[in-house]
């Protein structure tokens, strides 16, 4: 684990999960600094993943060890170290229009003129 890294990616969340219940679940490991569940900007519904920031890197490592692939609200959580935006690589987390990296835009077969 990188030194100073204490932010976790939490995936495979149940649609019933809210930030308070997720914070309570991770608080069993230690002090939780922040919790954020990512929601669709148009519908406001959860996208099924979020981020939890623990107080120390040691607590983050312990949370990964104890909570990854364990049941929570009828689903097995996926808990891992969150990558910083720069670490995701080109096109990571970008929108569909960018087509990732420096590749030129090429229309799909269905969009090409005949």
Per-residue pLDDT at 14: 95
Per-residue pLDDT at 47: 96
In a domain, 114, yes or no: no
Higher pLDDT, 1 or 27: 27
The CATH number for 71's domain is 3.30.70.330
Pick from 74, 59, 1, 69: nearest CA to 26? 59
Q: pLDDT per residue over 23-46, tens digit each?
A: 999 999 999 999 999 999 999 999
In a domain, 65, yes or no: yes
Q: pLDDT per residue over 50-107, tens digit each?
A: 999 999 999 999 999 999 999 999 999 999 999 876 655 555 554 445 445 666 666 6
Report the number of distinct structural domains present in the chain.
Answer: 1
**3-state secondary structure at position 108:** coil
Per-residue pLDDT at 84: 77
In a domain, 103, yes or no: no
In a domain, 87, yes or no: no
Is the C-alpha dihedral spanning 94, 80, 78, 20 positive or negative?
negative
In a domain, 94, yes or no: no
Q: What DSSP string runs through 25-89?
A: HHHTTS-EEEEEEEE-TTT--EEEEEEEEESSHHHHHHHHHHHTT-EETTEE-EEEEPPPGGGG-
Domain hosting 72: range is 1-82
DSSP secondary structure letter of residue 107:
-
In a domain, 109, yes or no: no
């Amino acid at each position: 684990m990188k030194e100073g890294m204490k932010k976790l990616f939490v995936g495979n969340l149940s649609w019933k999960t809210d930030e308070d219940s997720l914070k309570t679940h991770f608080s069993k490991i230690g002090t939780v600094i922040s919790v954020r569940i990512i929601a669709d900007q148009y519908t406001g519904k959860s996208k099924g993943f979020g981020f939890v920031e623990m107080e120390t890197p040691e607590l983050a490592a312990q949370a990964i060890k104890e909570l990854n692939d364990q049941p929570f609200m009828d689903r097995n959580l996926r808990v891992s170290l969150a990558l910083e935006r720069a670490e995701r690589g080109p096109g990571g987390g970008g929108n569909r229009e960018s087509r990732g990296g420096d590749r030129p835009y090429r229309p799909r077969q269905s969009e090409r003129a005949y």
